[in-house]
Amino acid sequence: MIRNPLRDPRDRRLPRVPEPCALVVFGITGDLARKKLLPAVYDLANRGLLPTNFALLGFARREWDDAAFAELARDAARKAARTPWREEVWERLAGGVHFVHGSFDDDNAFDALAERLHELEGSSGIGGNAAFYLSIPPGQFPVVLKQMQRTGMADSTPERWRRVVVEKPFGTDLPSSRELNALVDSVFTPEDVFRIDHYLGKETVQNLLALRFANTLFEPVWNGHHVDSVQITMAEDVGIGTRAAFYERTGAARDVLQNHLLQLLALTAMEEPVNFSAEEIRTEKLKVLRAISLPADLSASAVRGQYEQGWLAGQRVPGYRQEEGVAPDSRTETFAAVRFGVETRRWAGVPFYLRAGKRLPRRVTEIALVFERAPHLPFSDTDTEELGNNQLVIRVQPDEGVTLKFGSKVPGSVMEVRDVSMDFLYGEQFTESSPEAYERLLLDVLLGDATLFPRNSEVEASWAVIDPLEAFWAGSTPHPYRAGEWGPRAADEMLAAEGRRWRRP
């Protein structure tokens, strides 16, 4: 038989399509499912990346039949789909859409779900393969996992795979994280557990690895000999919305610093993996997370804030304590800024400044490498007064791309050097738009590719970094800042004390 050279399994450019399977979503009526998961399923189908034999099962308390759920799923997918709507694609998908109603503590409902999955093995040809997405509050995990264990739905065999997707937060501290990890691993095997951090599904985050390791231009200067500091910013212009109950228990540090920002730090600081397998990449990230150090004086290097009423986009917005469901004397932080170190040979002595906050002037997430000043400038002070540090900025959202900031002479008869920028924008360079993070991550779950999913040890190493911060902040009052400002003044003073300042995104 002649082998097709275009079907080399090593060629990662070829689209990969999962085996026949089912996706079961617990909490299908929630915001995440309606705004992200259902549109992602449609977009994958529209791109031809779902198997022909595919079933989508929703589980919730609503007393719907398959048709009612299919109509809700269609409306949600059409409203938020990234790719053009094609009715024929949805019709093919709708044939495998099913719904089972019941509560999480209802044995009969889970027996019915297990029976429905068993029926679909023959009627839909899914072969028994299934992924279970826990789009539910973490407090509900134990009862759902135990029900799945009781009914045998969690059991993988040589003939079929069963996987579970766990949404953040992965616990509220290190002990609770270990307890949750132990619970999940007692029901599913570790390689079948996918802890989802949607930031790792963003195209620009993945491009960070290509930028570093596919080019000889950046890696030689990607170290403490040339980099003065690293700033990682995640700014949101929105408030807490309807998440008051969750946010009051969590705060900015537990919500995004522990997962999103520490994962970005790990990808920025990691060494080159031996290959791009899930195990090798996660091993290098784990080394970084375990090498993170906190400053000796947290009072000068860890700031948290809480937004007060102010103006955003020409509109007056309430302060955090005036938000519905928030205690009038709440001490929950909506802004956190911390200075970390990474105790490796590459990064020794380089500060990593991380900040995240709500009600900031604009929505932006970026990683900025700020380089050392040139050791000798043969210019007068007036020639370079508008020249700053060279910077390499990776914009994760919303304008995905890379900016290189460097000095250039201003045209004219005098010597004047100032900063200019060279921009790369995904939207201008490539004709195909970047897939949504949940598209990539859902597809990887169905393929069994764990590269972009943190494992137990990464989650626990992250909590080991955050727990001392939370202990230090316990009982203190956050610094106030007005909505529409870039955080409290104390965050600026933290960098100013070291002769630096925050980059303005």
How many Å apart are CA 505 and CA 503, to the nearest integer? 6
All residues at 6 or more sequence positions from 77 whose CB lies less than 8 Å from its CB, including other chains: 38, 39, 41, 42, 90
Q: Which residue, 294, 229, 233, 285, is CA-closest to 470?
A: 294
All residues at 6 or more sequence positions from 353 whose CB lies less than 8 Å from its CB, including other chains: 229, 230, 231, 232, 337, 338, 339, 340, 495, 500, 502
Q: Is the peptide bond before 175 cis (omega within 30 degrees of 0)?
A: no
How many Å apart are CA 422 and CA 425, to the nearest integer? 10
How many Å apart are CA 80 and CA 164, to the nearest integer? 24
For strand 302-308 and strand 479-482, is the pairing parallel, antiparallel, or unpaired? parallel
Q: Do residues 444 and 21 touch, judged by C-beta distance below 8 A?
A: no
Residue 61 amino acid letter: R
Catalytic residue among 118, 260, 376, 479: 260
Q: Do residues 381 and 373 touch, judged by C-beta distance below 8 A?
A: no
Q: Which residue has the tokens 């990808």?
A: 267
DSSP label of 35: I
Which residues face 138 on adjacent strands? Answer: none
How many Å apart are CA 47 and CA 437, to the nearest integer? 15
198 part of the active site? no
All residues at 6 or more sequence positions from 369 whose CB lies less than 8 Å from its CB, including other chains: 222, 227, 230, 268, 391, 392, 393
**Cα end-to-end span (Å), the chain:** 57
Residue 362 amino acid letter: R
Alpha helices in 352-415 (DSSP H): none
Alpha helices in 292-424 (DSSP H): 298-301
For residue 357, what are the CA distances in angstroms to 334, 338, 488?
6, 12, 10
Report the Cα 435 to chain-centroid distance in Å: 14
Angle at 263 between CA 260 and CA 265, to 5 degrees: 110
For residue 311, what are the CA distances in angstroms to 30, 147, 314, 330, 489?
30, 48, 6, 21, 17
Active site amino acids: 260
